[in-house]
Amino acid sequence: MAVAARLKSYLDKNKVDYHVLYHQRVYTAQEVAATQHISGKELAKVVMMKLDNELVMMVLPASLVVDMDKLKRLFQPKVVKLAREEEFQGLFPDCEIGAMPPFGNLYDLQVYVDTSLAEQPHIVFQAGSHVETIRMAYRDFANLVQPKVVDFATHL
C-alpha cells in the first residue's frame, strides 16, 4: 500500500513541502524510529483513544506513552480507554491498520498533540502503510490539522 490517498491529495493540494521515506516493514513506533535512524522525539505516533463514547486521535512522540491520569484530569470523562482496532479500523479505508497518519481532520476525528511533539521543528509519521513515512515541518502539520495541543504524555 502506498501513501494514503487522502493524505497525499491533501498535502499536494495545500502545496506543503514533505518527503516520503521508505523503510522495511515494521509495526511499532520505536521500530520505525530505529529503521529511519531518527529520534523517538521526532517520530509522531498515533494512539486512538475513547473518551467516554468519542473516538479521538492522540499524537505523541514515539518515545512517550499516553498518561491516562493526565487525560482524566484534562477531559474529566467518565471513561478513558485505548480504543480497540475493531472500533476504528473502518475509519481509515486507505490505510493499513496501525499505520494511519496523524491527520484525523481528514477522517472526521478530533486531534490532540502532546506539547513535547509541538516543540519539534520537524516530525516524521507513518503515511498509511507500514513501509512509508512522511517527514515535514511541524508548523505545516499544525497549520493543516489545527490540533489541540495539550500535555498528556509521559515517559514509561
Buried b (16+ CB within 10 A) or exposed e, 106-138: bbebebbbbebbbebeebbbbbbbbbbbbbbeb
Task: Please give the residue range of the domain that contains residue 127.
Answer: 5-154
The pLDDT of residue 1 is above 60: no
Q: Is the pTM of this model over 0.85?
A: yes
Residues 105/145, Cβ–Cβ less than 8 Å: yes
For residue range 20-36, what is the model confidence (pLDDT) as tens digits? 999 999 999 989 999 99
The helix or strand, by DSSP H or E, that contains position 145, with its residue range, turns out to be helix 138-145
Q: What is the pLDDT of residues 88-126, one digit of tens each?
A: 989 999 999 899 999 999 999 999 999 999 999 999 999
What's the total number of domains in the chain?
A: 1
What the block records as the C-alpha cell of 64 is: 512517550
